Amino acid sequence: MIKVSIIGFGNVAQHLFSAFVKTTNIEVVQIFSRTLPEGLSGQELSLFTNDYQSLQPTDLFIVAVKDDAISEVTKQFLFKNQLVVHTSGAASMDVISSGNRSGVFYPLQTFTKNKEVNFQHIPICLEAQNQADYNILEEVAKSISNQVFAINSQQRKSLHVAAVFVNNFTNHLYAIGSEICKVNNVPFQILAPLIEETALKIQTIEPLNAQTGPAIRRDQKTMESHLEFLNDENYKEIYKILTHSIQDHVKKL
């Protein structure tokens, strides 16, 4: 049995806690949170503390707080030489205050409050200072997910940047599409199957090879009529720069 304490009780922490309680080999022993969450049983509530001094040494501390707070929070720990990991894709391993052994336990997914996720399919990226610590992280990760990867800080940073493109920026393109539909009285949901197909296709085809549309066909007439159709100067600019980039990218094939 691996004993785990969770520091912070936001979105990621809550999802991890729900996943851990379903396992047979992980026991959550303490949870640090400034406020007591609602909707938990008495037994679960007994795990909570808002006092750093009451945190006891244990096998693994998972610090699931905002990136900016990791350093400050881990400085408050009174214990020494424990394995302390954060859950951030962007923060380096050494933002964890020295005095403890640091590591990273980064589940690569967007977590929406109150929407249950199936951790089995969520990739977890691990990093540790030594093999023994890595083994602990791996056992914990594998007990909730079947996609566990050793990812060093440089690789994790690249993943984080890539995730901004494929998740945050993609969502913004959806928002633009939705607005265009709204203005023209077309239900955006007509585009849902296309959006889904585009996203699923990359599981079997390299995105570079899956590229379709007027930009890659160099269909000048269609692109001009699209630019004429768009009123928003911002959207025109996005249309031009992405078109240019698609045409530029294909040269790398």
Where in 138-177 is the site for a copy of itself (CB under 8 A)?
147, 149, 151, 154-155, 157-177
94 near a copy of itself, rule: CB under 8 A: no
- Please give the full DSSP string across 129-189, using - where no structure is assigned: SSHHHHHHHHHHHHHH-S-EEE--HHHHHHHHHHHIIIIIIHHHHHHHHHHHHHHTT--GG
User: How many residues sit close enough to a copy of itself to count as binding (CB under 8 A)?
Assistant: 93
Q: Are 4 and 62 in contact (CB under 8 A)?
A: yes
How far apart are the C-alpha atoms of 148 and 107, rounded to whole Å? 9
114 near a copy of itself, rule: CB under 8 A: no
Which has the closest alpha carbon to 104: 153, 163, 159? 153
Q: Site for a copy of itself (CB under 8 A): which residue of 36, 46, 54, 67?
A: 67
Dmax over CA atoms of the chain, in Å, equals: 69
105 near a copy of itself, rule: CB under 8 A: no
Cβ at position 197, least distance to a copy of itself in Å: 6
Which has the closest alpha carbon to 61: 112, 99, 23? 99
112 near a copy of itself, rule: CB under 8 A: yes
Cβ at position 221, least distance to a copy of itself in Å: 8
Q: Which is nearer to a copy of itself, 31 or 122 (CB)?
A: 122
As beta bridge partners, residue 101 has: 83
DSSP three-state, residue 28: strand
Q: Which is nearer to a copy of itself, 50 or 112 (CB)?
A: 112
How far apart are the C-alpha atoms of 195 and 189, rounded to whole Å? 10
Q: Which is nearer to a copy of itself, 40 or 69 (CB)?
A: 69
Stretch 211-230 residues interacting with a copy of itself (CB under 8 A): 211-216, 219, 221-222, 225-226, 229-230
Q: Which is nearer to a copy of itself, 36 or 173 (CB)?
A: 173
Q: Which is nearer to a copy of itself, 29 or 230 (CB)?
A: 230
